[in-house]
Amino acid sequence: MKITIQNGATHPLSRREIESIVCLFPAAWSYAVDAIVLYQGGSELTAKLYARERKIGLFWPLTPTYHTKADAIEVLLVALAIIAERGDLPKRIAPSIRSRALNQISNIYQKCLTAVGLNAA
């Protein structure tokens, strides 16, 4: 997977951190998207699928925020799990779909936190 940071974007996750967790992703996720782009924009931490380009955008809010790197990793992993399962990413994720995705990613999430130094395990 290619990792890109939008010019001028201030994002808590660095390219190196994303590269360190991509190797932990299941192969199906690599088939679902070709690239991860880190953006800054909007008012919420969110992920958006650009299906035609086969890339996922992870948007960090412009305004000061309470979100952490762990939150950004969780949003990215949930989005990738949903895309791999459904082939798309709805703008609003139903609680049942989100819950199923969180269950699917729990082990990967812990490994990702360890890889970026956020887990004391």
Count of all residues that appear for the chain in the document: 121
Rounded to a whole number of angstroms, the CA Rg of the chain reads 13
Determine if the pTM surpasses 0.75: yes
For residue 65, the domain's CATH number is 3.30.2010
Residues of the domain holding 65: 2-115
Strand order, beta sheet including 55-60: 2-5, 35-40, 55-60, 46-50
The yes-or-no verdict on residue 7 having pLDDT over 80 is no
In a domain, 44, yes or no: yes
The predicted pLDDT at position 120 comes to 47
State how far the Cα of 36 lies from the Cα of 77, in Å rounded to an integer: 11
Structurally, how many domains does the chain consist of? Answer: 1
In a domain, 28, yes or no: yes
**Residue 51 in tokens:** 């299906």
**Residue 49 in tokens:** 């699928």
Amino acid at 22: V
More confident: 13 or 33: 33
Residue 121: pLDDT band by 50, 70, 90 thresholds? very low
Q: Give the pairing type, strands 46-50 and 55-60.
A: antiparallel
Interacting residues of 82 by C-beta distance below 8 A, sequence separation 6+: 89, 90, 93, 97, 101
In a domain, 120, yes or no: no
The predicted-structure confidence for 22-34, as pLDDT tens digits, reads as follows 999 999 898 899 9
The predicted-structure confidence for 52-99, as pLDDT tens digits, reads as follows 999 999 999 888 778 889 999 999 999 999 999 999 999 889 999 999
In a domain, 74, yes or no: yes
| Euclidean distance between the first and the last CA atom of the chain, given in angstroms as a whole number | 27
